[in-house]
Chain A
Amino acid sequence: MRQHSHVTARVTGRRSDPSALEAGGSKDSADPSLPAELDRRFEAIVVWNAKPRAVPPELIALEGIGVPVVVVAPFSFATPMSRLAWSTTSAVAGFATEERGGADDPLVDMNDDDFALGETEDVLSFVLRELWKRGVTPGGVLLLIDGAVELPQLPLTGVLRDAVAAVTGPRHPPPPEGVVSLTGGDPRLHQVLADQLVRRRRGSLPEFDGPPGWSLVVEGSDHQHERVHASLLTVANGYLGMTGAPVSPVSSQEPLVLVAGVYDGEGAETRLLTGPGVFKLTGTRSRDGSSAQVKRRLDLRSGVLYERATVEAGTVESVRFASLAQPGTAILRVRCPKGFRARLRLQPPAEDPVHDEGRDGGSCWMRVAATTGGIVAAATQTRTRAGARGSTLDRFAVYRGDPDDLPERSSLIEDLARLSHSGFDRLFSEHRQAWAERWEDADVIIEGDDELQLAVRFALFHLMGSVADTNEAAVGARGLSGTGYRGHVFWDADAFVLPFFAATHPPSARAMLEYRWRRLSAAMMAAQDGGHAGARFPWESARTGYDVTPRRILDRSGRVITVRTGQLEEHIVSEVAWATRCYMDWSGDTEFALGPGRRILTETARYWASRIRLEPDGLAHIFGVIGPDEYHEPVDDNAFTNVMARWNLRQAAADPVDAVEESERCRWLELADALVDGYDPDTGVYEQFAGFNQLEPLIIEEVAPRRPIAADLLLGGDRVARAQVVKQADVLLLYHLVPDEMVPGSLEPNLRFYEPRTAHGSSLSPATHALVQGRTRDFDRALESLHLASRIDLDDLTGTTASGLHVATMGGLWQALAFGFAGLRPHHGVLHVDPVLPPSWSALAMPVRFHGSRVRIRKERAQLTIDTSQPIDLMVGSRRFDSVSGRLELRRRGSEWEPST
């Protein structure tokens, strides 16, 4: 019988869920005398003492190998640290108290005057929340509570129910149901802690213990979908991406490895270089086919891929990740059944030849050379006997990619040794914490739609994995999850991906702009080559910053056709400027604004000033371009291109670099004012380009068997070029990007006109429509568009997810939620908030960073809560709130938001 393979987008992961993927450590009993509830590996230990006392040495040892531990004890500032016998250099140890307390490196700053904990459950909730911020879910926490501690709130409620609680020592009355009673006093406590130590030393595997809505499960392995699944299960850290093909020998598929920004080839043939594989477990025969018994679970919260596979020798379980804490490193832990061999051997890259390779003692290395630069990888592994059940194998890998020079293998030796010395548990803990910190600033909560909730987290996870936050970030169309689109960087990186980072993790947005900034001179050369001034950023960009768009290709019928987007799709110039403004508006990064930011805006404006033609009638035009609607080419006065150019000119004129003469600045403003935009005041509709209204009035909504549909394939390119069939949001996108440039109140007539004419043949289109439909409160259509955008990769709606994930669509999904539903917009140093909530949702909550302040917005029915960590100016609806710090609670009264009390 055939094993079906499917992706489950469902709530899974509780320990009671039989489908949960538990790793081998869970039942690897180190001490059979312990109760069944404690017969597993825990990810954090909380010891609650009734009085100050020495910390058990086992706990200190656990902390020493990277296990988060917490001691809760009543002590005052006067309590000498020596009484606790604690290492004050501990990085992760923490203390909480019902009174007040402190430590040199505490879990929380106890000196904060606002810190106060009251009831027992408050203390535990506080501790679990802090652990959650470090990537430990309540399900992974063991609470060891001194029997003398008063627990009036037991039985545990809320998140506390998910933790395993045990009372040590005598207690009267006995602990309530759900709490384990450990008789035997201190020896028993030491025994439990020692058991956790033994498990770590034996190489226990972490188990997935995440809450619902945080994981993606793929069961089985079949040849039809394996490459799609591998893309979906990619683990990446912005520097290094590894697809989620099984590492067990149940399939001949191997994880694809990519290092950001390392390209091979020249011109249009430039493509991302593929790196050596390090995780495939070779040495045992692979078994392709539908009978493969394998299950993989991607933990979105921790960026960890769990795998369990049945092979001839038994069950192979593994945990792998590309460390977010140490980009460039990847770690695999495998529980091998007895007799299962897994020699360390690097696999040649998927699509490139090996330059050289070798062994250094116990490690292997391999290099892959690009036209310039290349990738070197090195790996080592250790094996730990785990009794009769087999062994545990830890594999540590380091990657270096350099776009300019082929890295030397010697550059990895020290890092590899350090990695191996740190050990799996510490690296795992660091990685998990790094992801938790990212989620603190990114997680979007949608209450009332579990499927969408998971899909949104899936999208945000892959967005965060696709973009580095240091140096420069070249974000290709498929991120680090595949070689599709050759890794080329398009406009969608600037207009769809960057805003998410500008609002949640500014260093990544800055790195994306650094990529453009470092290629400004290439863009200026390109402008000059075309007879223009300023900077002309390329439609497709890779290593050098010169255009790498293929010019001639074979189409689906095998005919050679000319591709003109590289020459004519010039609106990308404005999108780079827009991304620059977007970053500056969110971050308030004045250093960047006064340097690269201002220069990019100036040079892009100069390009448009030289590109625009001012006719004798006083009107200015841009002739011969391709707009986002690529079904029509070339066109004159594309509304999108013109309005974006107008915005670009005005932005630059408002704050030019010093070298700009006043006459040039005035010229920009004159041109901006003279640029036609196709707006018809009688209809309230912008004509998409000159002559669009004279085309055949074909309503694709009425003639197509369904939408979305690639109308150019359905009707043929010539037919759509002669008709009012639009590929994707063109005019409508302006209402998101530059709403101030649009005639007030004109969104609805344009939405009514263009949406039925839009085929949505671009994967970017549904998210943009969800955004503008959200603004117009057309919730039925907005949710339909939103769901469609959220499923493009999960359901492989393009048939190309195997070549990588559509990261721009993922960015578009976030934008639809942030700008369309939450109504967020940074503007002149003020954060605008104007949320709307579909009737089927009970709440929408999301964090952003605005000018350095952490801002949390939560919209419920008629209630809005905004928390800020630093004073910021807010505009909520039409009401302004200056210098808001802390919590602002508002209620909707009529059309206005008013403070609750």
Chain B
Amino acid sequence: MSKIIAAIDNSAASRPVLAMARAVALALDASLEVLHVVEDGDETARAAAQASGVPLRTLTGDPMAVLSTEMDAEDVSVLVIGARGRPAGRRPAGHLVMSLATRSDKPIVVVPPQFQPPDHLSTVLVAMEGTPGKARALQRTIEVSLSAGLQIAVIHVQDENHVPSFSDQVQHETEAYAKEFLARHKVAASGIRLELRVGDPATELLSAAQSEGADLVAVGWPHSDDPNRGAVAREILNRSPIAVLLMALS
């Protein structure tokens, strides 16, 4: 059985992280372990874990190093973590999240502090840029989500530079384009719908997440510290009101 680890800080933001971690563990039929790297106390973290009925394991040390080590464990499949740390923290959690995502191959679910996760996940929105490498990373998400019985909506946003050259008869063109897009990215399973949008990728993704009623937005994350890479994912992390699943790109 695989294990989900929820990394919580000593703030109120730990509650949605725990709730999301429970929902993810339920969907994946995985066990859940809650971790807290002690920096400035653990009262709030303990209270949150106790309220959730999940034992808390506290650790000490550099959060980045500690959590990396924990993620490397063979049985750990997903890390669930908060989007932001307390303003008084030594390092903003956003930086921690990005560092962990850059270092690890494993999926990371990033939960905004104001997010209210559902008890059961129902819909995942998968953002596909359309390049083969990125598609491969997200195929796994789709496969896992499908096996967990979740609804999948794939979204492909084209910015101004990638608007199609031609669109003959809209009543057929969209169908033909979508069919090939899904086939090309090996996500042509039944029950998956492709939403095609044109515009600013982050804005359109978040708009689609809202209209689809998604619980989770899955995006690819580059193995790179280069701030010029993963710009869309960074913007979504900054702006998303719902949980974001970062999938490492090869």
A246 to B186, CA, bound (A): 18
> How distant is B205 from chain A, measured CB to nearest CB, in Å?
12
- Contact status A553-B174, CB under 8 Å: yes
**B160 interfacial by beta-carbon distance below 8 Å:** yes
Whether the pair B184, A556 counts as a contact (CB closer than 8 A) is: no
With beta carbons under 8 angstroms apart, the residue of A762, A763, A764, A802 that contacts B183 is: A802
B172 and A227 contacting across the interface, CB-CB below 8 Å:
no
Set B165, B176, B196, B198: member contacting A485, Cβ < 8 A: B176
A705 engages B161 (CB within 8 Å) = yes
CA distance A599 to B69 in the complex (A): 83
Q: A556-B197, A800-B177 are in contact. Are A713 and B167 (CB under 8 A)?
A: yes
Q: Is B119 an interface residue (CB 8 A)?
A: no
Contact of B163 among A477, A558, A710 (CB under 8 A): A710
Residues of B within 8 A of A792 (CB): 166
Cβ-closest chain B residue relative to A799:
B177
Residues of B within 8 A of A659 (CB): none
Interfacial residues of chain A within 789-803, with CB under 8 A of chain B in the complex: 792, 797-800, 802-803
- Across the interface, A556 reaches (CB within 8 A) one of B161, B165, B195, namely B195
Q: Does A762 lie within 8 Å of B168, measured CB to CB? A: yes
- Does B211 interact with chain A (Cβ within 8 Å)? yes
Instruction: Tell yes or no: A714 within 8 A of B by CB.
Output: yes
- Please pick, from B161, B164, B170, the residue contacting A563 in the complex, using a CB distance under 8 A: B170
Contacts of B211 in A (CB 8 A): 558
Report whether A224 and B132 are in contact in the complex, using a CB–CB cutoff of 8 Å: yes
Q: How far is the CA of A713 from the CA of B196 in the complex (A)?
A: 10
Which residue of the partner chain, among B164, B171, B193, contacts A713 with CB atoms under 8 Å? B164
Report yes or no: A710 in contact with B160, Cβ–Cβ below 8 A.
no
A195 to B197 alpha-carbon distance, docked (Å) = 63
- What is the interface of chain B mostly: helix, strand, loop, or mixed? helix
For A762, the closest partner residue in chain B by CB is B168
For the complex formed, measure the closest distance between the CB of B224 and the CB atoms of chain A, giving whole angstroms. Answer: 21
B196-219 CB mask vs A (1 if < 8 Å, else 0) is 111000000000100100000000
Does chain A have a CB within 8 A of B190? no
Residue B169 CB within 8 A of the other chain: yes
Count B interface residues, CB 8 Å.
32
Closest to A806 in B: B168
Query: In the assembled complex, which residues on chain B have CB atoms less than 8 Å from the CB atom of A227?
Result: 180, 183-184
Whether A761 sits at the interface, judged by CB under 8 Å, is: yes
B213 to chain A, nearest CB (A): 12
A565 and B164 contact, Cβ closer than 8 Å, known pairs A484-B176, A556-B195, A799-B177: no
Partner of A798, one of B158, B160, B168, B171: B168
Contact of A803 among B160, B171, B180, B198 (CB under 8 A): B180
Given the known A-B contacts A223-B186, A558-B211, are A710 and B171 also in contact in the complex, defined by CB atoms under 8 Å? no
A553 engages B170 (CB within 8 Å):
yes
Contact A708 B165 (CB under 8 A): yes
A308 at the A/B interface (Cβ < 8 Å)?
no
Q: Is A554 an interface residue (CB 8 A)?
A: yes
The tally of residues in A whose CB lies under 8 Å from a CB in B reads: 40
Query: Are B183 and A799 in contact, CB atoms less than 8 angstroms apart?
Result: no
| Shortest CB distance A729–B (Å) | 14
- Could you say which of B168, B170, B176 has the most chain A C-beta atoms within 10 Å of its C-beta? B168
Q: Which of A451-492 contact B (CB under 8 A)?
A: 477, 484-486, 488, 490
Chain B residues within 8 Å of A410, by CB = none
In chain B, residues 138-183, which have Cβ atoms closer than 8 Å to a Cβ of chain A? Answer: 158, 160-161, 163-177, 179-181, 183
Query: Nearest chain-B residue to A222 (Cβ)?
Result: B132
Q: A223-B186, A556-B174, A803-B179 are in contact. Are A763 and B168 (CB under 8 A)?
A: yes
With A549-B171, A558-B211, A803-B180 given, is the CB distance from A798 to B165 under 8 Å? yes
B179 contacts A557, CB within 8 Å? no
Chain B residue, CB-CB nearest to A549: B171
Q: Is A712 interfacial (CB 8 A cutoff)?
A: yes
Q: Is the CB of B171 within 8 A of A565?
A: yes
A550 touches B196 (CB 8 A): no
B176-A762 in contact (CB<8A): no
Pick the contact of A799 from B160, B175, B180, B193 — CB < 8 Å? B180
Q: Do A558 and B176 touch (CB < 8 A)?
A: no
Partner of A555, one of B170, B176, B181, B193: B170
Residues of chain B within 8 A of A799, CB atoms compared: 164, 177, 180-181
Complex Cα gap A714–B175 (Å):
19
Q: How far is the CA of A315 from the CA of B165 in the complex (A)?
A: 40
A325 at the interface (CB under 8 A from B): no
- Give the nearest-CB partner of B162 in chain A: A705
Near B by CB (< 8 A), chain A positions 16-35 give none
CB pair A708 B195 closer than 8 Å: no
Q: Which residue of A lies closest to B165 (CB)?
A: A708
Q: Does the CB pair B166–A798 fall under 8 Å? A: yes
User: In the complex, which residues of chain B have a beta carbon less than 8 angstroms from the beta carbon of A797?
Assistant: 165-166
Residues of chain A within 8 A (CB-CB) of B170 are: 553, 555, 561, 563, 712
- Nearest A-chain residue to B156, judged by Cβ: A556
Quote the shortest CB–CB distance from A791 to chain B (angstroms): 11
- CB atoms of A798 and B196 under 8 A apart: no
Chain A residues lying within 8 Å of B173, measured Cβ to Cβ, are 798, 800
- Contact check: which of A561, A565, A761, A800 meets B176 at CB < 8 Å? A800
B171 touches A563 (CB 8 A): yes
Q: Given A558-B211, A563-B171, are A798 and B164 neighbors across the interface (CB < 8 Å)?
A: yes
Cα separation A486 to B195 with both chains bound (whole Å): 21
Assembly CA distance A713 to B160 (angstroms)? 9
Judged by a CB distance under 8 angstroms, whether A60 is at the interface is no
Least distance between A746 CB and chain B CB atoms (Å): 28
- Residues 536 to 560 of chain A near chain B (Cβ within 8 Å): 549-550, 553-558
Between B132, B171, B173, B198, the greatest number of chain A beta carbons within 10 A of the residue's beta carbon is seen for B171
What is the CA–CA distance of A798 and B175 in the complex, to the nearest angstrom? 13
Residue among B169, B179, B180, B211 with most chain A CB within 10 A: B169
How far, in angstroms, from A762 to B168 measured CA to CA in the complex? 5
- Which residues of chain A have C-beta atoms less than 8 A from B193's C-beta? 558
Does A709 make an interface contact (CB < 8 A)? Answer: yes
Which residue from chain A places its CB closest to the CB of B172 in the assembled complex?
A485
Q: With A223-B184, A224-B132, A558-B193 given, is the CB distance from A713 to B172 under 8 Å?
A: no
Complex: A802 Cα to B175 Cα, angstroms: 12
State whether A710 touches B195 (Cβ < 8 A).
Answer: no
Which residues of A have CB within 8 Å of B198? 556, 713-714
Which residues on A sit within 8 Å (CB–CB) of B171?
549-550, 553, 563, 565
A710 to B167, CA, bound (A): 6
Q: Quick check: A802 and B180 within 8 Å, CB to CB?
A: yes
B164 CB to closest chain A CB, in angstroms? 5
A713 surroundings in chain B (CB, below 8 A): 158, 163-164, 167, 198
Minimum Cβ distance to chain A for residue B246 (Å): 24
The answer for the CA separation of A486 and B169 in the assembled complex, in Å, is 12
Note all chain B residues with C-beta closer than 8 A to A761.
Answer: 165-167
**Closest residue of chain B to A490, judged by CB?**
B169
* A803 vs B132: C-alpha distance when bound (angstroms): 20
Residues in A with CB closer than 8 Å to B166 are 708, 710, 760-763, 792, 797-798
Q: Which residues of B contact A553 (CB under 8 A)?
A: 170-171, 174-175
Chain B nearest Cβ from A264, distance in angstroms: 16
Name the contact of B174 in the complex, choosing from A224, A554, A714, A763 (C-beta under 8 A). A554
CA distance A712 to B132 in the complex (A): 27
**Complex-state Cα separation, A385 to B186, whole angstroms:** 40
The chain B residue sitting closest to A708, CB to CB, is: B165
**Complex CA–CA separation, A382 to B139 (angstroms):** 42
Could you tell me the distance in whole angstroms from the C-beta of A561 to the nearest C-beta in chain B? 8
A to B CB contacts below 8 Å, 11 in the list: A223-B184, A550-B171, A557-B196, A565-B171, A713-B167, A760-B166, A764-B168, A792-B166, A798-B166, A798-B173, A803-B180
Closest 3 interchain pairs by CB?
A: A556-B196, A710-B167, A803-B176
Binding site for B on A (CB under 8 A): 223-224, 227, 477, 484-486, 488, 490, 549-550, 553-558, 561, 563, 565, 705-706, 708-710, 712-714, 760-764, 792, 797-800, 802-803
Supply 10 further A-B pairs (C-beta < 8 A) apart from A227-B184, A558-B195: A224-B184, A477-B168, A485-B169, A555-B174, A706-B165, A709-B163, A714-B198, A762-B166, A792-B166, A797-B166
